[in-house]
Structure 1
Amino acid sequence: MTTRTPLTHPRPAAAPARPPHPPRNRRGAATALGSAFLLAYLTLSLRRYDHFGSGVDLAIFGQAVKHLAAGQAPVVDLKAPGFLAFGDHFDPIIALAAPFYRIWPDTRVLLCIQALLVAVAVVIIADIATTALGRWRGLSAAAAFGTSVGVQNAVDFDFHEIAFAAPLLALALRAHLLGRWRQCAALTAGLLLVKEDSAFIMLGIAIALAIRGRRALAAGLAAWAVVGLAIVLAIVIPSLSYWHRYTYAPQAKGPWTFFTAGAHSLGTSLVTDGTASRTLVLLLAGAGVIGARSPLIWAVLIPFLARAANTNPAYWGPGFHYNLLIEVALFAALVDALRHRSRAEPVVWALIAWMTAAALACGPLATVISSHDDCSRCRAAHTALAVIPDGATVAADTYLLPHLVDHTTGYLLTPEFTDSTGHPLTPDWVVLDEQTSTYGDPSWVPALTRRLASIYEEVSARDGYVVLHRRVALLVISE
């Protein structure tokens, strides 16, 4: 039987590979670090929720998981009655959250799940790094990963299915670094169940496998990524979508204009506007840049360039949750590159330390350390929401919905008072925030209140939160 050993880059004799670090206390230290980050992530997420900073994305997943927990189709009512979540994005992995929602039917359970999943990814990165680099270097790399820009922003931005991919990808890359090629390919293949665009990071890992000389596995993984993506985008999502198409693809007249639009966006994001280029430099610097020497850098570049080719500028920057998996791949590439001693290593660690300090000082986790805001309007918001009875239908502002969807049927309040399909909303209750930042200038809120005056009666108004109840329903109650 042939013994599998980790494949290392060819290096001159003057740069020998580091000896593996003994496992004693290694996993205990990794678990302790992950536990510390779990506490920090929970504090960040739940504090944001309590301060009404969580928005519509948390409400969307809350509604989908709520229905799944009840054994129903994952309907997202706030988009439209009967709107299926899997017709928007293909993310069946969220069904794993349903049993936990049954235990605690509250949208905050999703924030706890996300914090745990990302903390587990920290533990896996710490295990990889301490094995290859030694205890203190490894823990330093894992701590830099846990505080990196992409990770902090992902934890701070509601809940997203991509959190399930973080530990899965970390395990796949751990197998890659240990030379367990089939395990790496199998774990990577599972990413397609997380979200359709995971196919791009799968292609990046396939390229890394090919560079390592595992061409058959690479070809199989690449084929699965391409064919799986095609099936999901051309068949699965259109069959479940309200519009019978994948709505996030650029609307183009034929393949030529589709690729032209992508090429134009790529040029704009990387050169003309430059947002994507600055984001890539920021992410690379946070992981010490040296990871670019590893074949795993393709697991960073392919998905990043796919995002840069999107016509929506929101995909180009360092914000939101889009860089979480890229950070996982970057730090695995960092470990791969540092498995062999390098003269540049002091510079690498200095850059990582500087970027980590900057991320801590300027990132969302800084609010956990420094902020003592008691959120005076939060009490008024809770008072307004307490008026809404369980089981009611209610239209509410983006930042109020996550507090409603677990016990009501919630709809997203828009200036047009329509759902995402253009149909008029008909809820029994409406909760407005006259100081909302949703849709820019909040002047639309008083205008909408005047429009609804003939249909809804004002029940309460305090500190800018207005609760309206349908007059017809009030008449029925009074009779």
Structure 2
Amino acid sequence: MTVLPTPWYRRPGLLPWAWAAALCLLYATVAVRRHLLMRTTGYDLGIFEQAVRAYADLRAPVVPLRGEGFNLLGDHFHPLLAALAPLYRLWPSPLTLLVAQSALLALSAVPLVRWAARVLGRRAAHAVAAGYGLSWGIASAAAFDFHEVTLAVPLLAWSVEALGRQRWRAAACWAAPLLLVKEDLGLTLAAVGGYIAYKGPRRLGLAAVAAGVLGSLLEFKVLLPALATTGGYAHGSNLAPAHGSLLATLAHAPLDVLRPELKATTLILVFAPSALLALRSPLALLTLPTLGWRMASENGFHWGTAFHYSAILMPVVFAGLLDVLGRETDRRTVRAALATVLAVTAVLLPSFPLAQLAQRATWHTTRHLEAARALLDRIPDGATVAASNRLAPQLTSRCTVVLFPTFPVGGRLYEYRRKDLPPPTAEWIIHDAQAPEAWPYQPGHWPYPLDQQRAELKAARKHGYEVVAARDGVTLLHRSADRSDTPRAPRTS
């Protein structure tokens, strides 16, 4: 009897990579369309592009959008971001960061799908791939600008897969670079080390715990204050004792984790993609460092499901799911669990950003967009520009951009109308008075109400700016460089 060769598309080794390619295309489509519809923002896509652009030019990551001379490494410690500089050098565009983020998030599915195929079979691997790839935590990150935590997601995915295979040294090695992605992720490295010490070689695990804790302390206490414009950790106030003293804060912590109710909702939704089964695995403990600082933070943005904050949790949640199902001997129980995972995914999908692909507005170019692009094209390369939040990332690849209607000084944002501050120094101002359609996260006119923005725009004309063009709510102003009362534009490096 002749045995036919297995078709290439059914080979087990290709399954995870095929899913990764499909997910990358999905994420990139959402991200690129959002950028083309001007739904991306200066805070944060423009900020990270300015940092990567500086790395590509072999400069320190000084970010004009955050303030004159603002070194982004003093805000969050993410030197691994420089790894994207060669790619940006080849293709200097915000789309480079968006596509790179899509690829990194999709890549994180590979070790998890491979693990599922090995312990549960091919069909189960498809279910895990769909559940993970369409999970709300990954989707929220894929569709909101660009963030450094994207670099950590595949690293942690490979680390937890190695933990599942009891490849302890590999797990520690994959987790070690987390220290270079963000200052709090050293605590996640320490959690990985704690798991290794509990399940495997104690000496290796304790070494990883020490490296994670000491690395984060070094970044919090030494590196970030040394690089910060303000001379301290910029986000330290978010974790200040909420009840006056550390002891009182610790006493209230059990209830504060669940108050307001948004926190409790988020905690449930974090584990919902696994049908809550991940809670039965000790791997779920790896979520505690990230969930801990988020729930303890005074910043309400950290409590919810928007933005990128939950992306780092999804690999751990699905690793916990695979750990539990891999020990299950009843195949019907496994099938029922995976069916529940897919059902939860289907229920949550319409409420999160991937659903934008099914909306007509995502594929429609409006007259407002055409007007904005026409005015943006009138700004020459190399100019200094004060731009509205949503217009900023349309310019950061070719201009020096600061945020309008605020003037960044010393790492903080100050309003133009403050009499004790210098007037705007950018050559150009471009302002958009129209809020975007289907805006999912921030108010459309962030950072200030539209009435105040219009007042700032009017005040700018007193400093010598003249209206060059105005179309469909977009206003372009220019200030001639030969005016005697025009201060020089701030240096960017």
TM-score calculated relative to the size of structure 2: 0.87
Worse overlay, 90-99 or 175-184: 175-184
1:126/1:142 contact within 8 Å kept: yes
Task: Tell me how far 1:154 sits from its aligned partner.
Answer: 0.4
Q: Which residue, 329, 333, 355 being the options, matches 2:344?
A: 355
Task: Tell me how far 1:255 sits from its aligned partner.
Answer: 12
Task: Tell me how far 1:215 sits from its aligned partner.
Answer: 2.4
1:261/1:311 contact within 8 Å kept: no
Q: Which residue, 16, 19, 37 being the options, matches 1:30?
A: 16
Please give the alpha-carbon distance, in whole angstroms, between the structure 1 residues aligned to 2:399 and 2:180: 29
Query: Could you list the runs of 5+ residues in structure 2 that have no partner in the other structure?
Result: 1-8, 415-420, 436-444, 487-493
1:264/1:309 contact within 8 Å kept: no
Task: Tell me how far 1:24 sits from its aligned partner.
Answer: 7.3
1:200/1:306 contact within 8 Å kept: no
Partner in structure 1 of residue 291 of structure 2: 304
Partner in structure 2 of residue 11 of structure 1: none
Task: Tell me how far 1:27 sits from its aligned partner.
Answer: 2.1
**SS at structure 1 position matched to 2:450:** coil
Task: Tell me how far 1:267 sits from its aligned partner.
Answer: 5.3
1:251/1:258 contact within 8 Å kept: no
Q: Which residue, 148, 152, 168 being the options, matches 1:165?
A: 152
Worse overlay, 178-187 or 264-273: 264-273
Partner in structure 2 of residue 401 of structure 1: 392
CA distance 1:301–1:254, shift in 2 (3 Å):
closer
The residue type paired with residue 274 of structure 1 is E
Task: Tell me how far 1:260 sits from its aligned partner.
Answer: 5.5
Partner in structure 2 of residue 18 of structure 1: none
1:37/1:119 contact within 8 Å kept: yes
1:205/1:298 contact within 8 Å kept: no
Partner in structure 1 of residue 96 of structure 2: 109
Once superposed, what is the RMSD of the aligned Cα atoms? Answer: 2.5
Q: Render the CA deviation track for 1:128-155: whole Å, top value 9, x for unaligned.
A: 2111211111221121011001000000
Alignment of structure 1 residues 389-468 onto 2, 5 Å = 389-415=380-406, 420-421=411-412, 422=414, 424=422, 425-436=424-435, 437-439=445-447, 441-455=449-463, 456-468=465-477
Partner in structure 2 of residue 380 of structure 1: 371
Please give the alpha-carbon distance, in whole angstroms, between the structure 2 residues aligned to 1:401 and 1:264: 44
Q: Render the CA deviation track for 1:98-123: whole Å, top value 9, x for unaligned.
A: 00111011111000100010111112
Task: Tell me how far 1:360 sits from its aligned partner.
Answer: 2.5
CA distance 1:262–1:192, shift in 2 (3 Å):
farther
CA distance 1:435–1:35, shift in 2 (3 Å):
same
Q: Percent identity?
A: 32
Task: Tell me how far 1:370 sits from its aligned partner.
Answer: 3.5
1:289/1:348 contact within 8 Å kept: no
Please give the alpha-carbon distance, in whole angstroms, between the structure 1 residues aligned to 2:238 and 2:277: 39
**SS at structure 2 position matched to 1:395:** strand
The residue type paired with residue 470 of structure 2 is A
CA distance 1:167–1:272, shift in 2 (3 Å):
closer
2:405/2:457 contact within 8 Å kept: no
Alignment of structure 1 residues 142-221 onto 2, 5 Å = 142-221=129-208
Partner in structure 1 of residue 306 of structure 2: 319
Please give the alpha-carbon distance, in whole angstroms, between the structure 2 residues aligned to 1:473 and 1:258: 56
Please give the alpha-carbon distance, in whole angstroms, between the structure 2 residues aligned to 1:294 and 1:251: 30
Please give the alpha-carbon distance, in whole angstroms, between the structure 2 residues aligned to 1:299 and 1:196: 16
CA distance 1:370–1:253, shift in 2 (3 Å):
closer
Please give the alpha-carbon distance, in whole angstroms, between the structure 1 residues aligned to 2:238 and 2:268: 30
Task: Tell me how far 1:417 sits from its aligned partner.
Answer: 7.5
Partner in structure 1 of residue 439 of structure 2: none
2:69/2:410 contact within 8 Å kept: no
Task: Tell me how far 1:35 sits from its aligned partner.
Answer: 0.9
Q: Which residue, 364, 379, 382 being the options, matches 2:353?
A: 364
TM-score calculated relative to the size of structure 1: 0.89
Query: Could you list the runs of 5+ residues in structure 1 that have no partner in the other structure?
Result: 1-22
Partner in structure 2 of residue 63 of structure 1: 50
The residue type paired with residue 358 of structure 1 is V
Please give the alpha-carbon distance, in whole angstroms, between the structure 2 residues aligned to 1:251 and 1:351: 37
2:187/2:216 contact within 8 Å kept: no
Partner in structure 2 of residue 247 of structure 1: 234
**SS at structure 2 position matched to 1:271:** coil
2:242/2:249 contact within 8 Å kept: no
Task: Tell me how far 1:257 sits from its aligned partner.
Answer: 4.7
2:68/2:409 contact within 8 Å kept: no
**SS at structure 2 position matched to 1:90:** coil
Q: Render the CA deviation track for 1:414-435: whole Å, top value 9, x for unaligned.
A: 3568674345431111111122
Partner in structure 1 of residue 442 of structure 2: none
Task: Tell me how far 1:345 sits from its aligned partner.
Answer: 3.4
The residue type paired with residue 429 of structure 1 is W
Please give the alpha-carbon distance, in whole angstroms, between the structure 2 residues aligned to 1:404 and 1:197: 31
Task: Tell me how far 1:256 sits from its aligned partner.
Answer: 9.6
The residue type paired with residue 122 of structure 2 is R
**SS at structure 2 position matched to 1:460:** strand
Please give the alpha-carbon distance, in whole angstroms, between the structure 1 residues aligned to 2:169 and 2:266: 33
The residue type paired with residue 341 of structure 2 is I
1:265/1:308 contact within 8 Å kept: no
Please give the alpha-carbon distance, in whole angstroms, between the structure 1 residues aligned to 2:392 and 2:357: 24
Partner in structure 1 of residue 316 of structure 2: 329
Alignment of structure 1 residues 237-316 onto 2, 5 Å = 237-250=224-237, 257=244, 259=246, 263=250, 266=253, 270-316=257-303
CA distance 1:121–1:349, shift in 2 (3 Å):
same
User: What is the total number of aligned residue pairs between the two structures?
Assistant: 455
Partner in structure 2 of residue 338 of structure 1: 325
